[in-house]
Structure 1
Amino acid sequence: MRSYHVNSGAGISGLSIKDHPDPQPGPGQVLVAVRAASLSHRELMILRGDYVLPVKPDVVPISDGAGEVVSVGSGVHTAKIGDRVAATLFPSWQDGPFGLQHLPQLGGSLDGMLTELALLDESALVPIPAHLSYEEAATLPCAAVTAWNALTGDDSGPLSGQTVVTQGTGGVSLFTLQFAKALGARVIATTSSPAKAERLSELGADEIVDYRTTPDWPARVRELTSGQGAERVIDVTGDLGQSLRAVAIAGHVASVGFVSGNPPLLDPRAIFNSGAVVRGIAVGSRAQFLAMNQLIEAHRLRPVIDRVFPFDQAPDAYRHYASGEAFGKVVITV
């Protein structure tokens, strides 16, 4: 079999293909023929060398992938040959709160999914929704589960009738838009261009704020909510001060990341004055993945895919994703 390998900080030029003997599953393990993998922002962080979690030397990259079970080890009861599956990013995180014991993650401290064959623990696998292709299912483990956790992981009640703010057109934001609409929420989406605004409308966004022409987008969110603010803001930029200006009293800000680079410092008074909860999101558990898939199946949702690259052109897929021009997920077929 062939696998891509890279070292933390090596950049896209550091990706290399190596040949390996086909692995054999041991007790409790499953061998998956990977059919597709997809890129997320964490993959760029690993190549830049600034990912916050450990990355082992010469790792097989990419946390997100889907494929077909081709062999099972002894003691495996929930997976069988021919099953269509995806793997959780944190294989040991089954349910409940995240903890240090769950830090091992695919494509970081554990080998990931940019490979022809992946050896995975049975407990890490999730059946993929029947109506999705492998390419579509490969987009779910990081961005989609993160969006689901951001919307539902605080147990604060149903989203129906609430207003949710999404930022930009990255994977987490697009999944948030789709899930929030399926759960009965109103969505205000921020973006940077009329072309992206049109596509966000097609996906169901109720209101769109162009932050280039309207830099004070939190004020616009308040105008659109009769001065109350949004019950939920899904912050992917790291500018929490702005998100706290847009959120309603006793609302929730889900801090997903800081794709904009070095975010501004947050004045603690902004949290106090907002009366809101700020919650950091670390993807999600296997139980959350399963619950998310139920919604995807019930509403026949389909991930937004920007472009698909063949396995031998994986570096080109990284370059396209890094350009920032993609609307939706960038996928590599295996």
Structure 2
Amino acid sequence: MKAYELRRTGDRQDWVKVERPTPQPGPGEVLVRMRAVSLNYRDVLVKRGQYGASPGGTRPIVPTSDGAGEVVAVGTGVTRVKPGDRVMPTFFQNWTDGESPPRPVLRALGAGDVDGVLAEFVVAGAEALVPVPAHLSFEEAATLPCAALTVWHALFVLGDLKAGQTVLVQGTGGVSIFALQFAHHAGARVLATSSQDVKLERARQLGADELFNYKKTPNWEEPVLARTGGQGVDHVLEVGGVETFPHSVRATRAGGHITLIGLLSGSWAQVDPKLSEAKNLRVRNIFVGSRAMFEDMNRFLAQHRIQPVVDRVFPFDQAPEALAHMEAGAHFGKIVVTV
């Protein structure tokens, strides 16, 4: 089968297209023919060796965590799925329900020594697969396992989002666009930031109520406060990291909720107790989510007929170009590779 491996080439790591033996499912396992894979900023960090354990000292691994495909064979004892089912592997293969296991125990696809999904065929445990919502294509479904589920966990599980509350989303990448869509369909008021007016206008078309260009207004928390009667927003999905976090704190109401998700500005946000405790903020880190959360999210997607926003679809042979497009940061929504 065709696949990509993350390998060290010279003084750096690259995605290298290879031929691998087609894997076979063992007891309790399923062979999935992958049809589409989506990228996350995490994939850029893994390639740079900046995310968890680098594969450089172990074996080459198949990169990426998010994809969708169809079941082609099942191992003994599998009753959860059958050949022909459209499925998505979960980001964490061993978190089915309940509280998150300790992070060292979690097995995330496409990092450390765990193969990901940028291959023609993938073997996964039957308990680590989720059905594709009927209204979605493979390309759309491939966007869900990490970015969408992270948003669901942040807003609905940890944040207990209610209709009428306010949600601030930063930028127009995959996480932020899912947050905009989910919050809008839940009846929340959405405030969105971006460096480009054209992207803000697209956000408005998806349901954003208030728009702020952070290039034109670097202290964007000031108009956010003005638009919320001086109170601030109820929820912030913090994807910028160290540079944006102080603005997020000032833009959040007393007792509000901030979820730390990304580090687009170069490093993780450093929580200053003087800032967060003075306002009694709930500041949480988040690790994607469980299979049970995934299934709950899919019911919400189906109920509201939500279509993930796909920025661009690349053919399999151009997967490295897709990653470069992600790294450039010019996308709106998700980047997908067909398999």
- Same fold per superposition (TM over 0.5): yes
| Change in 2 beyond 3 A, CA 1:198/1:11 | farther
Structure 1 residues 126 and 102, CA gap change in structure 2 (3 angstroms)? farther
Preserved CA contact (<8 Å) 1:8 1:57: no
Unaligned runs of 5+ in 1: none
Partner SS state of residue 93, structure 2: coil
What is the letter of the counterpart of residue 68 of structure 2? A
* 2:247 is the alignment partner of 1:242: yes
Counterpart position of 2:80:
78
Correspondent of 2:166 among 163, 173, 191:
163
Residue 312 in structure 1 maps to residue 317 in structure 2: yes
| Residue of structure 1 aligned with 2:233, choices 230, 235, 245 | 230
Q: Which stretch has the larger CA shift, 278-287 or 7-16?
A: 7-16
Does structure 2 conserve the Cα–Cα contact (< 8 Å) formed by 1:60 and 1:107?
Answer: yes
**For 2:12 and 2:86, how far apart are their aligned partners in 1?**
30
Structure 2 counterparts to residues 141-156 of structure 1, below 5 A? 141-154=145-158
Give SS of 2:118's match.
Answer: coil
Alignment of 1:272 with 2:277, yes or no, is yes
**Structure 2 counterparts to residues 1-334 of structure 1, below 5 A:** 1-7=1-7, 14-53=14-53, 55=55, 57-100=59-102, 102-108=105-111, 109-154=113-158, 157-238=160-241, 239-262=244-267, 265-334=270-339
With over 3 angstroms needed to count, the CA separation of the structure-2 counterparts of 1:328 and 1:10, relative to structure 1, is: farther
Q: How many residues align?
A: 333
SS at match of 2:221: helix
Per-residue deviation at 1:53? 4.9
Give me the whole-angstrom Cα distance separating, in 2, the residues matched to 1:9 and 1:191.
35
Equivalent residue letter for 1:89? F
| Cα RMSD, aligned residues only | 1.7
Give 1:82 deviation, angstroms. 0.2
Preserved contact between residue 9 and residue 48 of structure 1 (Cα < 8 Å): no
2:165 & 2:151 partners in 1: Cα distance?
16
What secondary structure does 1:254 align onto? strand
> In the alignment, is the contact (CA less than 8 A) between 1:12 and 1:315 conserved in 2?
no
Deviations 1:157-189 (A, max 9, x none): 442110000000110000000000111100000
- TM-score, normalization: structure 1? 0.96
Q: Shift in Å at residue 191 of structure 1?
A: 0.8
Single out whichever of 223-232 and 258-267 deviates more from structure 2.
258-267
Q: Secondary structure at the match of 2:253?
A: strand
Q: Deviations over 1:235-265 (max 9, x none)?
A: 0011322211111111100111211103564
Structure 1 residue matching 2:201: 3-state secondary structure: helix
Q: Which runs of 5+ in 2 are unaligned?
A: none
Q: Is the contact between residue 10 and residue 48 of structure 1 (CA under 8 Å) also seen in structure 2? A: no
The Cα offsets for residues 144-167 of structure 1, whole Å up to 9 and x where unpaired, read as 01111110122x544211000000
CA displacement at 1:14 relative to structure 2: 2.0
Q: CA deviation at 1:7?
A: 3.4
Does the 8 Å CA contact 1:2/1:19 hold for their aligned counterparts? yes
Q: Is the alpha carbon distance of 1:288 and 1:265 closer, same or farther for their aligned partners in structure 2, counting shifts above 3 Å?
A: closer
For 1:309 and 1:123, the matched residues in 2 are separated by: 30
Contact 2:6/2:13 (<8 A) preserved: no
Q: SS in structure 2 opposite 1:123?
A: helix
